[in-house]
Amino acid sequence: MFINITNSETGSNKGSSARLVEYLEKENKLKADKAEKELWFTNDRYDVPHREVRVKLDNNVAKLSKTDDKFFLVNISPSEKEILFLKQKYGERML
């Protein structure tokens, strides 16, 4: 499994997360069927609207200075073998 934290050359993770959230949401705008859209999630919800994600990220700044990173983009890329294992263990719907 390949995992990395993206270092953006063009964006900044020290201010608002609006550009990142909109970038990640762009593919959902192309999908007409709501069932096809990929939803944002938390540890207890699987239907978080993208606007709520942005607000929560932007307001989660307790004990952070203006120069501290506020959010990170983590890329997780499982191999085909790992995906097959997860599908067998948890079912197609969980992925």
pLDDT in tens, 57-81: 999 888 888 888 888 888 899 999 9
N- to C-terminal Cα distance for the chain? 15
31, amino acid identity: K
Our CA angle for 33, 39, 43, nearest 5°, is: 155
Above 70 in pLDDT, residue 95?
no
Query: What are the φ/ψ torsions at residue 40 (nearest 5 degrees)?
Result: -75, 155
What is the mean pLDDT of the segment spanning 18-40? 84
Q: What confidence category does residue 39 fall into, taking pLDDT thresholds of 50, 70 and 90? A: confident
pLDDT for residue 79 = 95
- Burial class, 25, CB count within 10 angstroms (exposed 0-12 / middle 13-18 / buried 19+): middle
Above 90 in pLDDT, residue 82?
yes
Task: Name the residue with higher pLDDT: 5 or 94.
Answer: 5
pLDDT for residue 52 = 95
